[in-house]
Structure 1
Amino acid sequence: MDRTTLRARAWLTGIAALCGAWLIHQGAAVETAAPQPSGAEAFTAGAQPRPGTGAARPLRPSVPVRIRIPGIGVDAPMTGLGLGPDGSLDAPPAGDRNLTGWYEDGTPPGARGTAVVAGHVDDAQGPSVFYSLGSLKKGAEVEIDRRDGRTAVFSVDAVEVYENDAFPDKRVYGPTPDASLRLITCGGGYTRETGYQGNVVAFAHLTGVR
């Protein structure tokens, strides 16, 4: 089994922790599910995730420190996430609703490859940092400040939702020759008893550097 497969499985297990057990035990305060992406924001039928027009040259790796998504009001610090003793990805600390995490043993945002950033959708007090991820539109900008003083600017290519039992590991986590980004939170079917039964994934590619 190669490293990409291991990493994908680790992420899938960790994201399940964001969406399943934690919400089941804690209970979500919201009465209705978070916004879900419409079919218009998905890739066209049969299309594979590939960088769109205007792809920028990948940057050297550098630790990300902050993410901004103006279209949905996100402005949040970032923390590194590792793997727990069972091999699953640690979730961002639940006590801070405005915090995102990136897999620090993977690709840093802006570098060549597929970077993954995760955030909670809600908690017992209400909406969290990625609550509105499902309402993100194609072409929206995602800005990530890095420790090297540069800001990597990404353009959203599509936003899709997958049920847990049909999560496409390779499609989401597969390696890319350019600087790609995946934003992930809970989504799909929802009840107050079970929490969310899937994930919302936003696909984006690097288009600029400031």
Structure 2
Amino acid sequence: MRRVKDTAIAAVTAVALGSGAWLLLGGTHPDAPPQPSAEQALTARTGRGAAAPALPPSPPDRVRIPAIGVDAPLTGLGLTATGSLDVPPAGKKNLAGWYEAGTTPGETGTAIVAGHVDNAEGPAVFYRLGALEKGAEIEVDRRDGGVAVFTVDAVEVYAADAFPDEKVYGAADRPELRVITCGGPYSRSTGYQGNVVVFAHLTGSR
């Protein structure tokens, strides 16, 4: 499997992971996706919880986040011509993707999973990602038959023009996971103006 440095990935564009077209039907939509609160931000205490031993490399097949009702298959993602992370097909609203040229979920390093917050028809796979809280679990089914279990350390939202590439995509000395979707304010002219990012680390496997 080809490996590239995590920091080579440019920031995920807000437009790529959420169109918000369905919001336009009613102006300010009462069911706009939830955004993380300040209490869910990354801190020194939550950012370095005890980690489980790393797993050998194995591509992932599925991601589950029980706290927000996510149970979705995973497809491999690459990079666009401009170096940003590609995204799953917008029409498949319950499909998420993982960056297949990087770390596989469970091995040492930073694994990346991304998915749409919505599409033209309504909410998509990571619509409720901003409602996730510290301590929640994320399960990733691996092709080797195992399940990698991650614990959420933080959920943050960033403006697209201030996305912290190194913080999100930078290399890690233990098994970590980032889950990314659109977030922040919504504009009719530009769509979502930022991204929600979940930070998690491996705490178990089975």
Q: Structure 1-normalised TM-score?
A: 0.87
1:136 aligns with 2:138: no
Deviation at 1:73, TM superposition (A): 0.1
- Is the partner of 2:97 in helix, strand or coil? strand
For residues 134 and 105 of structure 2, the distance between their equivalents in structure 1, rounded to whole angstroms, comes to 19
Code of the residue aligned with 1:34 in structure 2: it is P
Match of 1:43 in 2: 42
For residues 109 and 158 of structure 1, the distance between their equivalents in structure 2, rounded to whole angstroms, comes to 17
Match of 1:79 in 2: 75
For residues 158 and 61 of structure 2, the distance between their equivalents in structure 1, rounded to whole angstroms, comes to 28
Within 5 A, what are the aligned runs for 1:109-148? 109-148=105-144
1:18 aligns with 2:16: yes
Deviation at 1:173, TM superposition (A): 0.8
Deviation at 1:89, TM superposition (A): 2.4
Deviation at 1:87, TM superposition (A): 3.2
Within 5 A, what are the aligned runs for 1:182-197? 182-197=178-193
Match of 2:55 in 1: 59
Instruction: Kindly indicate whether the alpha-carbon contact (under 8 Å) linking 1:15 and 1:91 is maintained by their aligned counterparts in 2.
Output: no
Instruction: Report sequence identity in percent.
Output: 61
Match of 2:5 in 1: 3
Code of the residue aligned with 1:57 in structure 2: it is P
* Structure 1 segments unaligned to the other structure (5+ residues): none
Match of 2:22 in 1: 28
Deviation at 1:191, TM superposition (A): 2.7
Q: Structure 2-normalised TM-score?
A: 0.89
Size of the aligned set, in residue pairs, is 198
For residues 41 and 83 of structure 1, the distance between their equivalents in structure 2, rounded to whole angstroms, comes to 29
- What per-residue deviation string (whole Å, max 9, x for no partner) do you get for residues 93-130 of structure 1? 11110000001001011110000100000011100000
* Structure 2 segments unaligned to the other structure (5+ residues): none
Instruction: Kindly indicate whether the alpha-carbon contact (under 8 Å) linking 1:29 and 1:125 is maintained by their aligned counterparts in 2.
Output: no
For residues 202 and 209 of structure 1, the distance between their equivalents in structure 2, rounded to whole angstroms, comes to 19
Match of 2:85 in 1: 89
- Is the partner of 1:134 in helix, strand or coil? helix
Deviation at 1:135, TM superposition (A): 0.2
For residues 100 and 49 of structure 2, the distance between their equivalents in structure 1, rounded to whole angstroms, comes to 26
Instruction: Kindly indicate whether the alpha-carbon contact (under 8 Å) linking 1:51 and 1:180 is maintained by their aligned counterparts in 2.
Output: no
For residues 136 and 93 of structure 1, the distance between their equivalents in structure 2, rounded to whole angstroms, comes to 24
For residues 161 and 138 of structure 1, the distance between their equivalents in structure 2, rounded to whole angstroms, comes to 14
Deviation at 1:48, TM superposition (A): 8.7
